[in-house]
Structure 1
Amino acid sequence: MSKSKKKYFNHIIDSTLTGIGALIALSVIGLVAEEVGYMMIIAPFGATAVLLFSVPDSRFSKPINVFAGYFIATFVGFIVLHYSSGNWLSVGVGLGATIMFMHLFNVIHPPAGANYFIVIQGQFTMYSVEPIFIGLVTLVTIGIVVEKIRKSLADKCNYCP
């Protein structure tokens, strides 16, 4: 097999593994979200899945960034929702604070910013913490497993046919 064909074949295998991982993770999250009637969480988790499965070595894809980014966004969103009228200024102040804290603690995870908007729209209850946590654990766990499979295959034979 020529070098260019092998490279193309490797890319196809890698892309397939990435897609299968995302399919499994988001299907589990979708099932949980549908069960609790909280489908809004799919949007930021979809963006998180793109990072975890497509660029797993990015600093934005580190598990600590994922968990801490969502925690910060949810916490700041809850504070803003509880203590403000939800007007245009509170939207900007809250998201600015979310970004500032993610940057301050060096746990930047861009998709978590979308979770802030879900929270300040009044979609946040203590009941919604569980599906968010389950979703994060599911995404990160499946992301780590898929990355280990990808690296294992690459180390063994570079996806040789």
Structure 2
Amino acid sequence: MPRHLLVRHESRHPHLAAHVKAGVGATVTIAAAGWLAGVTHLPLLLAPFGASAVLLFAQAASPLAQPVNVIGGYLLAGLVTLLAHMALPADWWVVGLTVGAAITMMSLARLTHPPAGAMPVVVAGSTTMPALELLAIAVAGAAVMTIYAALHHRLPPRFDYPKRPAPMVS
């Protein structure tokens, strides 16, 4: 196997506390969604939220983890999914087409959030909940996770999240 395929591109964080804090943030977020799901009997534990938690807590500096990308990505992928769900037959090829369309739209809008690209698959796999309700839960869940991440990153070891834009040079 070519050696370059085994090179890690993630920078090493010098403090163990930052790694533990990322795990705690994800644990609290997903556990809270699970608890709320039990109380409300709503499907609040969506598989893409686990991947969003990785980005929000362990890769918070990534453009893919910024609030506009997380919330906007779920919103845009949700809209594409809803349109496809209303206009096209419920068939396997539509799921693939919709994932591709969601990725294209997120990329064009510069709102890419990879976990949101799974929403067409989530909707296709749901037999008990209408697509609109499921997508509303996804967008609301993304917003709540993002708000919690912003608060969580203010705890020591502190991390600047969300990223602030670079100052404009005149």
Bigger share in helix: 1
How many residue pairs get aligned? The number is: 147
Q: List gaps (5 residues or longer) in structure 2.
A: 1-11, 161-170
**Partner residue of 2:106?**
102
Q: Which amino acid is the alignment partner of residue 77 of structure 1?
A: T
Query: Whose relative contact order is higher, 1 or 2, with alpha carbons under 8 Å and at least 6 apart?
Result: 1
SS of residue matched to 1:108? coil
TM-score, scaled to structure 1: 0.78
Q: Which amino acid is the alignment partner of residue 142 of structure 1?
A: Y
1:103-131 alpha-carbon deviations (Å, 9 max, x no partner): 01001000001122112335444443553
Q: Which of the residues 7, 27, 30 maps onto 2:31?
A: 27
Q: CA RMSD in A?
A: 2.6
Moved over 4 A (4+): none
* Structure-2 separation of matches of 1:37 and 1:115: 20
The 8 Å contact of residues 33 and 131 in structure 1, kept in 2 or not, is answered as no
1:23-66 alpha-carbon deviations (Å, 9 max, x no partner): 11111212223334343743100100000000100000010000
* Structure-2 separation of matches of 1:28 and 1:130: 18
* Structure-2 separation of matches of 1:133 and 1:152: 27
* Structure-2 separation of matches of 1:93 and 1:129: 18
Q: List gaps (5 residues or longer) in structure 1.
A: 1-7, 155-161
Output aligned runs, 1:41-120, within 5 Å: 41-120=45-124
Among all aligned residue pairs of Structure 1 and Structure 2, give the percentage whose two residues are the same amino acid.
Answer: 27
* Structure-2 separation of matches of 1:143 and 1:25: 9
